[in-house]
Amino acid sequence: MAGAADTESGGQRRRDDAPGPRLTEALEAIGTGAYVVDAQGRILAVNSRAEELLGRRGEDMAGQDAHDLLHRGPEGQQLPATQCGMRQAFHAGRPGQAALDHFARADGSLLSVSWLITPYSGHDRDAHTLVVFHPREQARPAEPSPERSVRPLSELERLALLAETTTRLTSTLNVDETLRRLVALVLPRLADWAVIDLITEHDEVWRTAVVHAEGDRLVHREDLEGPMPPVPEESLMPLSRALRGVASALAEPDTYQRTPDSGIAVEQRRMFDATGIRSAAIVPIRGTREVLGALTLGRADAPGDFSTPDLPLFEDIARRAGLALDNARLYQRQRAVAETMQKHLLPQMPRVPGLQMAVRYLPAPDASQVGGDWYDAFSLSDGATALAVGDVVGHDLEAAAGMAQLRNMLRAYAWSQQEPPSRVVERLDEAIMPITDVSMATLVFGRISRTDDGLWRLSWTNAGHPPPLLVTREGLTDYLTDGHSLLLGTGLGTSRPDATVLLPPGCTLLLYTDGLIEVPGHTLDEGLDLLRQHAAALAHRPLPAFADQLLHRVRPPGLDDVALLALRTPAGAPHGQA
């Protein structure tokens, strides 16, 4: 039974003699939940962060089958091994990862996690597998359909609306999503029209949204959206005053029928005429340091007109929206800096006679995911060419900076040592913790050189990264799964293997990061199969078109950024051969 004392003839070795304490000490260097299982999937050691996340003591987990103890479906049900992506990767003896799965905590609750596993040889050469996991938030349930009619809100409903506004608007760092949620909160609960005017970072006014509630549907009037005239300094008209942050106000069509004092007044008259709004409330959207815009709520078909007592509620909603927009804008500026930094740090490819190379980098649409993916290729002192692709754990500027540190150290070691890829990566791993800000990273590092008979030889080592894909010009595919070992930064200090292959003429070698194969709702195996199928279908395309089309066809909808390095050998037979 799992967890019972094991004995072996001759050695009388018991399970409590296993390297649990040493493993646990090493796992503490990992900054998130981690545990190690043996070849049968039984837990050998657990770090304190995993104990905290799972609500379980390490000694209670030791010896138990990790799948039976922890792995659950989204409703908490026992998960058959055939439906468990982690168990499938474990039995296949290859690394694996998933963006969202579920572990059972001791109290019966579910912990949503993302995880990564990688196999390695233990101190006694037994097969072990390291599991690293991070807590993840569950996807939010679909927003309920808006109410069909406008009616006065009770005090309890007003407080609930403000609480809902805070919760929804502060749970995203995307400006467009913040505006979409703001509109969905106020329509049709408070009005049947919503108009949002924002002041851009260049002090221009942009009518960002004009939305009408038609039953359960929210319909955008794009013909009324777009750039607006500048804000006049002295105008007493309601929208101009709101955009200057002076005051909130009520308005009606007659407000803008008088002789206009500015271009904004002309646009307001056009908006009232086009929408049929008969009663409007206009409030400033203020950030922490400046006015960001104005929110207009209008009633055309809905019963009742706005009155002065309505304004404090609308101002509270707009104030919360302003804080959310401020945070989203700040975060998107940070993302833009991170993207720019990363793109400038990613290198130009060397010119290698006889070889073609194409590289691509795509940031994730989610601002929180940019930063850690990278590729590299450079000439070595012995005439070979180094190839690398990797992923630094973390996001934004921290990960981009860590990526630069890791890449530069790798270049220095590879140029100076003239050693096999495994030894270069071992030296890199030894240096990560003491002299860089990188906590963990995955990496494929290889060297490609020409043989005496004109073929191209690739040797490589893989530190916990998805395997390279080799595609022949006939469309045959092979994942290069040899040479695999632990990711960088675990502190376990294991030796790393090398692998070698002769590349066929006209073949394409593909190095990539996991953003290319992680498909929401699908297993990693399905993502790898999808990549294999499309790479085979595109094998005949010129290399730049191959890279572009592969990203277009395979890339999932935006969980992570993607770095890709594609290399192609000459199509003809080696010189001197028939």
Considering only 382-396, 436-450, 451-465, which range has the smallest mean pLDDT?
382-396
CA distances (Å), 13 to each of 10, 18, 230, in order? 8, 8, 81
For 339-367, the pLDDT digits (tens) are 665 566 666 788 899 899 999 988 765 54
The span from the CA of 511 to the CA of 364, in Å, is 18
For 134-148, the pLDDT digits (tens) are 887 544 444 444 443
How confident is the model over 16-24, as a mean pLDDT?
A: 55
CA 230 remoteness from chain centre: 38
Q: 299, 333, 367 — which closes off a domain?
A: 333
Amino acid in position 3: G
The answer to the question of residue 145 being in a domain is no
The answer to the question of residue 576 being in a domain is no
The answer to the question of residue 10 being in a domain is no
- Nearest alpha carbon to residue 45 among 65, 69, 68, 20: 20
Q: Domain check: are 160 and 51 in the same one?
A: no
Q: Domain check: are 130 and 185 in the same one?
A: no
The answer to the question of residue 143 being in a domain is no
Q: Domain check: are 222 and 263 in the same one?
A: yes
pLDDT category, 12, cuts 50, 70, 90? very low
pLDDT category, 127, cuts 50, 70, 90? confident
Residues in the chain: 578
Q: 333, 357, 375 — which closes off a domain?
A: 333
* Whether residue 505 has a cis bond before it, omega within 30° of 0: no
The answer to the question of residue 340 being in a domain is no
The answer to the question of residue 77 being in a domain is yes
Q: Domain check: are 378 and 526 in the same one?
A: yes
pLDDT category, 386, cuts 50, 70, 90? very high
pLDDT of 307 > 60? The answer is yes
pLDDT at 432: 87
Q: Which long-range contacts (CB under 8 A, 24 or more apart) does 15-19 make?
A: 15/63, 18/44, 19/44, 19/45, 19/122, 19/123, 19/124
The residue range of the domain holding 94 is 15-135
Rounded percentage of the chain residues whose pLDDT exceeds 90: 46
The answer to the question of residue 491 being in a domain is yes
pLDDT of 6 > 50? The answer is no
CB 479 within 8 A of CB 467: yes
pLDDT of 56 > 60? The answer is yes
Q: Which residue has the higher pLDDT, 555 or 425?
A: 425
Q: Domain check: are 227 and 376 in the same one?
A: no
Q: Domain check: are 288 and 186 in the same one?
A: yes
Tally of domains within the chain:
3
Q: Domain check: are 164 and 85 in the same one?
A: no
Average pLDDT, the chain: 84
Q: 308, 333, 358 — which closes off a domain?
A: 333
Give the domain CATH number at 83. 3.30.450.20
Rounded percentage of the chain residues whose pLDDT exceeds 70: 84
Q: What is the pTM assigned to this prediction?
A: 0.51
Q: Domain check: are 305 and 351 in the same one?
A: no
Give the domain CATH number at 242. 3.30.450.40
Q: Is 157 helix (H, G, I), strand (E, B) or coil?
A: helix
Q: Which residue has the higher pLDDT, 453 or 28?
A: 453
Q: Domain check: are 501 and 402 in the same one?
A: yes
Q: Domain check: are 392 and 530 in the same one?
A: yes
Q: Domain check: are 33 and 159 in the same one?
A: no
